[in-house]
């Protein structure tokens, strides 16, 4: 702590030597003037009292109380700046340097709470703490949103404000849905996203739906389901993105499938492209983009079909797929997507950070755990474990694979079983493990507790929860799942499991290219155990393999250089940047 230096004061014995000599001066005057001894004693008592008061004040000013004024290792200094007209006190905040405080948010991060312009200023910070605080927990992103993306987001927010729930345009278009009659055209068309599948899938599909709405100038409305309001803050200013509870089709959402009369694929089977007037006259169309969709449903990704859907005021979408890669194969979207995302692998990175802000209860889970277990480490390693094998874990082959990957890629140090390591390194690593089972955490923790590392590094191992099995419909289960995805996204290095949307969300939010664990076969650890991914983008697990122009099958992973097959699923598609 720097000491405060006061300005010279005429009553300070340390800065004004005349005060120190005051006693001698008075005695000399007494001898000359013949003052009485009683008068001399009076002057001495007064001088001692003044000296005592000055000394006490100087001690207080030199050592101000520090509790309550220091935050996250920041040092506060008061500088006196004298101006010609007044004296002003300046507060300067500077980061300390040292192993304890390296995790503290930088001033640069504090300034970029809008994430490079991705977020809009003006939200009430008390309504959603995570929206502007997230920058304090992340390293500055290496990726910057394009000016065009920022401009289009602001334009969308204006559209949402004009056409969102209970606005005049919404009420007018809703009337068209209720009557199922062709009314005069409205200036607002809508895309309704149905809450469906597990939390990781919902996050990825909602981002996909938003991008499609952005490309087609539709207003996105979100079915709240059972817990969406509990998990996510409102991303748009003033007008909600949640579908009103009195929406007339809401009680049919669960029954919508490929056999529904308004299902796009079924309508195509019963008509032809030449007879697209049936689509245009429909008040709504249901888009079935779930993993079991058929060839007719997949025609959604063809230009001609997008033209047919353009005038339909209400599109209702159900999906469990991150279908963004196939949007990049639609010719009419190609230029717009290139302008929005010059770097193709940043699509979910930007849309995820723009759309998904944890509510305050979830944010509390994130920040409390981060500060308690991860903040002070020199490096944070995330390991996301999802096991698709049946039976009760933990499985030895999965543990062997995790350890082999971490050691082979130098993510964690090996241990010394023979002799103790005397010279301990000052470096610490915190390992965050997420898994439905506690067994993997316990084995890794015990390994680094029972034996020293060969590097002398100190390894701490942590796991926030172990729910044993997925409980999609339970509120607190999904709160913890969302918090753990977010915590993984705050790590420096990440290992994920094949096919897991949980891991996809974490890597893309964090801007991380993880090492992905290959899917084990026959309960045997693969060799090699893992590989580094090409990009941080999620994988589209069930893409179409169809050439819309040639009307024949095609390998859609070989059409354009920025859409490739996934590392963890050979038939899947993902966006990459070819540098």
Cα 234 vs. chain centroid, distance in angstroms?
Answer: 15
From the DSSP assignment, how many helices (H) and strands (E) are in the chain?
A: 20, 16
Flag whether 119 is in a domain: no
Q: Which CATH number covers residue 513? A: 3.40.50.11350
Rg of the chain taking only CA atoms, in angstroms: 32
* Residue of 334, 328, 431, 343 whose CA lies nearest to 385: 431
pLDDT value at position 253? 97
**Are 391 and 336 in a shared domain?**
no
pLDDT value at position 140? 85
Alpha helices in 374-524 (DSSP H): 396-408, 439-450, 475-489, 501-510
8 Å CB contact between 389 and 478: no
391: tokens are 């039976």
* Residue of 418, 437, 482 whose CA lies nearest to 229: 482
Flag whether 475 is in a domain: yes
Give the CA diameter of the chain.
126
Q: What is the pLDDT along the chain (579 residues), one digit of tens a residue?
A: 433 333 434 444 334 434 344 443 334 444 444 444 455 555 554 565 655 544 444 443 444 333 333 233 333 333 333 333 333 333 333 333 333 334 444 444 455 899 999 999 989 888 999 999 999 999 888 999 999 999 999 999 999 999 999 999 999 999 888 877 655 667 899 999 999 999 999 999 999 999 999 999 999 999 999 999 999 999 999 999 999 999 999 999 999 999 999 999 999 988 744 455 555 568 899 999 999 999 999 999 999 999 999 989 999 999 999 999 999 999 999 999 999 999 999 999 999 999 999 999 999 999 999 999 999 999 999 999 999 888 777 999 999 999 999 999 999 999 998 877 666 677 999 999 999 999 999 999 999 999 999 998 999 999 998 876 666 556 789 999 999 999 999 999 999 999 999 999 999 999 999 999 999 999 999 999 999 999 999 999 999 999 999 999 999 999 999 999 999 999 999 999 976
**Are 408 and 303 in a shared domain?**
no
pTM of the model: 0.81
368: tokens are 């409390």
Pairing of strands 530-532, 515-517: antiparallel
Question: How many domains in the chain?
Answer: 2
Flag whether 134 is in a domain: no
* Residue of 53, 512, 126, 148 whose CA lies nearest to 342: 148
440: tokens are 């993997």
pLDDT value at position 36? 47
Gap between the Cα atoms of 507 and 490, Å rounded: 9
Gap between the Cα atoms of 155 and 133, Å rounded: 25
Residue 258 main-chain phi, psi, to 5 deg: -65, -20
Q: How would you class 385 by CB atoms within 10 Å of its CB: exposed for 0-12, middle for 13-18, buried for 19 or more?
A: buried
Gap between the Cα atoms of 21 and 290, Å rounded: 92
**Which residue spans within 344-427 are E strands per DSSP?**
379-384
Gap between the Cα atoms of 317 and 492, Å rounded: 36
**Are 526 and 566 in a shared domain?**
yes
pLDDT value at position 475? 74
Flag whether 131 is in a domain: no
pLDDT value at position 569? 96
**Are 322 and 370 in a shared domain?**
no
Contacts of 249 (CB under 8 A, 6+ apart): 177, 192, 284, 316
Gap between the Cα atoms of 126 and 104, Å rounded: 22
Gap between the Cα atoms of 232 and 227, Å rounded: 9
8 Å CB contact between 249 and 316: yes
Flag whether 38 is in a domain: no
**Are 251 and 380 in a shared domain?**
no
Flag whether 25 is in a domain: no
What's the full length of the chain, in residues? 579
Pairing of strands 379-384, 428-434: parallel
**Are 532 and 501 in a shared domain?**
yes
pLDDT value at position 96? 32
Flag whether 196 is in a domain: yes
* Residue of 249, 252, 285, 237 whose CA lies nearest to 119: 237
Q: Which domain holds residue 375?
A: 360-575
Flag whether 50 is in a domain: no
């Amino acid at each position: 702590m720097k000491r405060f230096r006061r300005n010279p004061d005429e009553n300070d014995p340390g800065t004004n030597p005349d005060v120190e000599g005051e006693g001698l001066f008075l005695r000399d005057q007494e001898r000359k003037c013949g003052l009485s001894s009683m008068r001399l004693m009076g002057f001495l008592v007064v001088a001692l009292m003044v000296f005592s008061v000055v000394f006490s004040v100087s001690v207080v000013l030199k050592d101000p109380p520090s509790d309550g004024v220091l935050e996250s290792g920041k040092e506060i200094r008061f500088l006196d700046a004298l101006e010609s007209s007044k004296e002003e006190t300046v507060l300067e905040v500077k980061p300390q340097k040292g192993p304890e405080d390296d995790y503290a948010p930088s001033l640069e991060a504090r300034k970029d709470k809008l994430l490079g312009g991705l977020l809009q200023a003006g939200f009430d910070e008390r309504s959603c703490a995570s929206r502007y605080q997230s920058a304090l927990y992340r390293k500055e992103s290496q990726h910057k949103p394009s000016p065009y993306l920022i401009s289009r987001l602001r334009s969308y927010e204006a559209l949402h404000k004009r056409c969102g729930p209970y606005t005049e345009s919404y009420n007018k278009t809703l009337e068209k849905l209720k009557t199922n009659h062709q009314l005069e055209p409205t200036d607002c068309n809508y895309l309704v996203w149905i809450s469906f599948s597990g939390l990781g899938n919902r996050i990825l599909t909602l981002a996909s739906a938003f991008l499609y709405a952005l490309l087609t100038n539709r207003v996105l409305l979100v079915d709240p389901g059972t817990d969406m309001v509990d998990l996510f803050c409102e991303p748009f200013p003033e007008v909600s993105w949640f579908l009103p509870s009195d929406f007339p089709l809401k009680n049919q959402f669960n029954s919508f499938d490929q056999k529904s009369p308004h299902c796009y694929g079924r309508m195509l089977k019963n008509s032809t492209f030449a007879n697209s007037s049936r689509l245009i006259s429909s008040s709504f169309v249901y888009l079935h983009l779930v993993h079991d969709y058929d060839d007719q449903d997949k025609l959604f990704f063809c230009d001609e079909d997008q033209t047919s859907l353009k005038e339909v005021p209400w599109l209702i979408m159900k999906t469990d797929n991150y279908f963004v890669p196939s949007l990049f194969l639609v010719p009419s979207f190609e230029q717009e997507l290139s302008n929005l995302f010059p770097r193709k692998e940043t699509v979910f990175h930007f849309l995820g950070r723009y759309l998904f802000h944890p509510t305050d209860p979830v944010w509390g889970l994130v920040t409390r755990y981060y500060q308690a277990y991860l903040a002070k480490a020199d490096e944070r390693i995330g390991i996301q474990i999802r096991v698709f094998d049946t039976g009760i874990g933990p499985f030895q082959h999965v543990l062997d694979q995790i350890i082999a990957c971490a050691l082979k890629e130098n993510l964690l140090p090996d241990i010394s079983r023979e002799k103790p390591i005397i010279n301990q390194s000052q470096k610490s690593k915190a390992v965050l493990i997420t898994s439905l089972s506690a067994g993997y955490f316990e084995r890794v923790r015990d390994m680094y507790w029972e034996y020293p590392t060969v590097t002398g590094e100190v390894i701490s191992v942590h796991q926030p929860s172990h729910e044993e099995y997925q409980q999609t419909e339970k509120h607190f289960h999904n709160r913890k799942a969302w918090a753990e995805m977010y915590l993984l996204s705050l790590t420096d290095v990440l290992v994920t499991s094949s096919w897991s949307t949980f891991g996809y969300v974490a890597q893309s939010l964090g801007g991380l290219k993880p090492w992905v664990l290959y899917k084990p076969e026959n309960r045997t650890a693969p060799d090699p155990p893992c590989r580094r991914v090409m990009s941080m983008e999620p994988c589209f697990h069930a893409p179409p393999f169809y050439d819309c122009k040639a009307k024949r099958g095609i390998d859609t992973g070989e059409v354009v250089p920025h859409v490739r097959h996934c590392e963890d699923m050979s038939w899947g598609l993902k966006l990459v940047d070819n540098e």
